[in-house]
């Protein structure tokens, strides 16, 4: 069973078709768009700040979403994929972004539309990842522009996670 936890007079608000995996935790001031999915052992902790997601956001297994009290909210656009065990903290992710497995994005960072943060990368506080850029490393730096073939895959990944969630809710037609 998922843990949907009201806190400090805030109850998470889930958009139509949003699916919560058993064992995830969604706490406090969290707002999702439609057809989002929050997967096994993920934590979306809106206890000290607001967390706002667009449509078709997938927060994969073990990811942690949070912010800093009275300093940073977490804003996530639509068609965003946050990979397994990633940490996304008090930043802005624009539409169509992919955050790779185990990556970290810190307070005040902004990841532009269609950008990719590679697996294991650490995007430092206040960094500005431009639209369509691929960043990798520790600390993360721009490696190149996202190849055209990969750009198409970003939106497809978000769509696939809508399909995967449907398997669990018995609506896979």
pLDDT in tens, 125-157: 999 999 999 999 999 999 999 998 898 899 899
**87-89 vs 133-136, strand pairing mode:** unpaired
Give the separation between CA 172 and CA 166, rounded to whole angstroms. 5
What confidence score (pLDDT) does residue 172 get? 46
What confidence score (pLDDT) does residue 170 get? 75
pLDDT tens-place string over residues 17-63: 999 999 999 999 999 999 999 999 999 999 999 999 999 999 999 99
**What percent of the chain clears pLDDT 70, i.e. is strictly above it?**
97
Q: Is 152 left (phi over 0), alpha (psi -120 to 50) or beta?
A: alpha
For the chain, the average pLDDT equals: 95
Give the separation between CA 154 and CA 82, rounded to whole angstroms. 11
What confidence score (pLDDT) does residue 13 get? 97
What confidence score (pLDDT) does residue 152 get? 87
pLDDT tens-place string over residues 98-129: 999 999 999 999 999 999 999 999 999 999 99
Q: Which domains does the chain have, with CATH numbers?
A: 3-169 (2.160.10.10)
pLDDT at 2 over 80: no
Give the separation between CA 31 and CA 73, rounded to whole angstroms. 12
């Amino acid at each position: 069973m998922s843990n949907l936890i009201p806190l400090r007079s805030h109850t998470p608000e889930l958009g139509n078709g949003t699916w919560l995996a058993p064992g995830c935790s969604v706490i406090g001031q969290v707002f999702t768009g439609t057809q989002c999915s929050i997967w096994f052992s993920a934590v979306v902790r809106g206890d000290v700040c607001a967390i706002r997601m667009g449509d078709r956001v997938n927060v994969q297994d073990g990811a942690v979403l949070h912010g800093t009290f009275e300093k940073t909210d977490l804003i996530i656009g639509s068609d965003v994929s946050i990979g397994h065990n990633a940490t996304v903290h008090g930043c802005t992710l624009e539409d169509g972004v992919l955050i790779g497995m185990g990556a970290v994005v810190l307070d005040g960072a902004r990841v532009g539309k269609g950008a990719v943060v590679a697996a294991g990368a650490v995007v430092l506080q206040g960094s500005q990842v431009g639209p369509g850029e691929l960043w990798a490393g520790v600390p993360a730096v721009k490696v190149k522009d996202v190849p055209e073939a990969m750009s198409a895959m970003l939106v497809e990944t978000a769509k696939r996670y809508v399909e995967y969630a449907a398997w669990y809710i018995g609506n896979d037609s």
